[in-house]
């Protein structure tokens, strides 16, 4: 079974930590990595912003990708959160097994 990385950004560390712990507790993901400070430049409602945000890298199994994405969207502080999933084409087999076991 394949594993996936999900990438998302958050307004602040508090929201990122809250979503992260619930994802792991509910076995939707094996683990997350929160990068506490990034700067994002984007246009929203015809205005350009440069904002300080957090980003999160999320590891999960193929069977949990959609549920994890929906959970993130439902628990996110943004109206239109960036949530993107990427299939992993090659990885260390023991890590792959661990991710799959953690999301059963």
pLDDT tens figures, 62-102 = 999 999 999 999 999 999 999 999 999 999 999 999 999 99
Residue 71 has phi, psi (to 5 degrees) of -65, -45
Q: Which residue has the higher pLDDT, 1 or 101?
A: 101
CATH number for the segment(s) 3-90: 3.30.70.120
What does pTM read for this prediction? Answer: 0.93
In DSSP terms, 53 is beta-bridged to: 38
Rg (CA), the chain: 14
Q: What is the pLDDT of residue 22?
A: 98
Q: Which residue has the higher pLDDT, 1 or 70?
A: 70
Provide the residue ranges of all domains of the chain, joining segments of one domain with +: 3-90
Q: What is the pLDDT of residue 1?
A: 76
Question: Residue 46 above 90 pLDDT?
Answer: yes
Mean pLDDT within 28-56? 97
The two structure tokens encoding residue 32: 């997350």
């Amino acid at each position: 079974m394949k594993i996936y990385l999900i990438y998302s950004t958050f307004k602040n560390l508090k929201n990122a930590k809250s979503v992260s712990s619930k994802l792991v507790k509910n076995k939707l993901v094996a683990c997350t990595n929160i990068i506490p400070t990034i700067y994002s430049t984007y246009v929203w409602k015809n205005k350009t912003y440069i904002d300080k945000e957090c980003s999160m890298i999320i590891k999960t199994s193929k069977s949990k990708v959609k549920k994890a994405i929906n959970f993130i969207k439902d628990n996110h502080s943004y109206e239109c959160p960036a949530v993107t999933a990427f299939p992993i084409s090659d990885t260390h087999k023991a890590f792959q097994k661990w991710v799959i076991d953690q999301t059963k």
